[in-house]
Amino acid sequence: MPSGRTIKLRKGFDIKLPDAAVAQMSDVHVSEIVAVKPDDFKALVPKLLVHEGDEVKAGDPLFFESFVQRSKSPHQ
């Protein structure tokens, strides 16, 4: 399957795979550095909240959808 191609599945669609998964475990190297590219989110127009090289913690927001208007309650 070519990379960069978006495939949309409908609810209940069953993907027929030719073989079963291999039942083996492997040790992998866990990276300390990761990258999130806004271009990977094709349905969004992201507004970035962090800059290249910033350190963030798990759960920190990285970006938000710029076309979605956020409604705020008067109590916020």
Digit-coded pLDDT (tens) for 31-62: 888 888 877 877 788 888 999 889 988 889 98
Query: Residues 35, 47: contact at Cβ < 8 Å?
Result: no
Buried b (16+ CB within 10 A) or exposed e, 17-28: eeeeeeeeeeee
Q: Which pLDDT belongs to residue 71?
A: 47
Q: Which pLDDT belongs to residue 64?
A: 85
